[in-house]
């Protein structure tokens, strides 16, 4: 019996039907390269392999799971296993396009992982990830900075929720499976890293106006500046759209 490690955010799914549902939301897997972060007991991995990917790369941080995951390598010639931290490994160096992510992410680092992969821009054609419901809502619902960053390159949709009793051990929160699908045409052409900095500044203090937040970021940004951008200075950041930030972005980074 594996001793689950709270420090690694481990919560394994005990129902094989749930694994099947997760894989079904991953789209056309056959012939694609799939990355799975935190394969854990390997049950989701086996379901992914049943869908006949070109390669499945499993990245696991817990060395105690080595023997269990080695069984999958013995059963499949197109599975690979890397022991390391999925939050710090550049996945572009270990898998080729067309590539997908399908994973039950460690709760404690899920947000940072997804944001890191979004910065890859158009590398992954889809990312189907299970995270805490609260985290998912930040990517799914308008008015959140993470939603703005995600929707620059992806459509983001909710697949389904899962209650705590589906997992071992039971988490204290509900979970949500969501899928990021790469857009064929970008909504706006902006550098992701620059937009990330701009939105961080814009949402620095969510209860303040966009004017007060951005003025702290750049002293040249005043009321007239925002009005020329076509943005109402007294709006709070939660009321701004991706297009609003695009209008500001064009002026802020005009000379870059």
Domain range summary for the chain, segments of one domain joined by +: 6-182, 192-252
Backbone angles phi, psi at 122, to 5 degrees: -110, 25
Number of H helices, E strands in the chain: 10, 9
Whole-angstrom distance, CA of residue 119 vs CA of residue 106: 19
Report pLDDT for 2: 45
Considering only the top CATH level, what class is 192-252? mainly alpha
Q: Do 231 and 248 touch, CB atoms closer than 8 A?
A: yes
Q: Do 106 and 8 touch, CB atoms closer than 8 A?
A: yes
**Positive or negative: CA dihedral 68, 72, 73, 78:** negative
Report pLDDT for 4: 52
Report pLDDT for 10: 56
- Per-residue pLDDT in tens (0 to 9) along the chain, 256 residues: 445 545 445 577 989 999 999 999 999 999 999 999 999 889 999 999 999 999 999 999 888 888 889 999 999 999 999 999 999 999 999 999 989 999 999 888 999 999 999 999 889 999 999 999 999 999 999 999 999 999 999 999 999 999 999 998 788 899 999 999 999 888 999 999 999 999 999 999 999 999 999 999 988 899 999 999 999 999 999 999 999 999 999 999 987 7
Report pLDDT for 6: 52
Backbone angles phi, psi at 88, to 5 degrees: -120, -15
Report pLDDT for 7: 47
Q: How far is CA 156 from the centre of its chain?
A: 10
What angle, rounded to 10 degrees, do the helices at 242-252 and 192-202 form?
110
Whole-angstrom distance, CA of residue 12 vs CA of residue 107: 11
Report pLDDT for 36: 97
Return the CATH architecture of domain 6-182. Answer: 3-Layer(aba) Sandwich (3.40)
Sequence-separated contacts (24+) of 157-160 with Cβ below 8 Å: 157/181, 159/21, 159/22, 159/25, 159/128, 160/21
Report pLDDT for 140: 97
* pTM, to two decimals: 0.92
Question: Cα dist. 236→13, 93, 143 in Å?
Answer: 39, 40, 9
């Amino acid at each position: 019996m594996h001793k689950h490690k709270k420090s690694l955010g481990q919560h394994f799914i005990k129902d094989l039907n749930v694994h099947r549902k997760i894989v079904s939301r991953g789209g056309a897997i056959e012939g694609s390269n799939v990355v799975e972060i935190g394969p854990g007991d390997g049950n989701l991995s086996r379901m992914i392999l049943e869908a006949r990917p070109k390669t499945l790369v499993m990245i696991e941080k817990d060395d105690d799971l080595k023997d269990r995951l080695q069984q999958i390598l013995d059963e499949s010639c197109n599975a690979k296993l890397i022991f390391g931290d999925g939050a710090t490994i550049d996945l572009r160096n270990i898998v080729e396009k067309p590539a997908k992510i399908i994973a039950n992410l460690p709760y404690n680092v899920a947000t940072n992982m997804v944001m890191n992969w979004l910065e890859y821009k158009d590398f992954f054609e889809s990312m189907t990830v299970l995270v805490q419901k609260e985290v998912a809502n930040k990517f799914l619902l308008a008015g959140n900075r993470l939603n703005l960053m995600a929707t620059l390159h992806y459509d983001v949709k909710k697949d389904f929720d899962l209650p705590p009793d589906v997992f071992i051990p039971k988490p204290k929160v509900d979970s949500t499976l969501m899928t990021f699908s790469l857009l064929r045409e970008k909504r706006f052409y902006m550098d992701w890293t620059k937009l990330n900095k701009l939105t961080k500044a814009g949402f620095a203090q969510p209860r303040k106006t966009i004017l007060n937040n951005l003025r702290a970021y750049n002293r040249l940004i005043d009321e007239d500046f925002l009005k020329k951008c076509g943005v109402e200075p007294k709006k709070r950041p939660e009321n701004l759209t991706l297009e609003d930030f695009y209008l500001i972005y064009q002026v802020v980074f005009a000379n870059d």
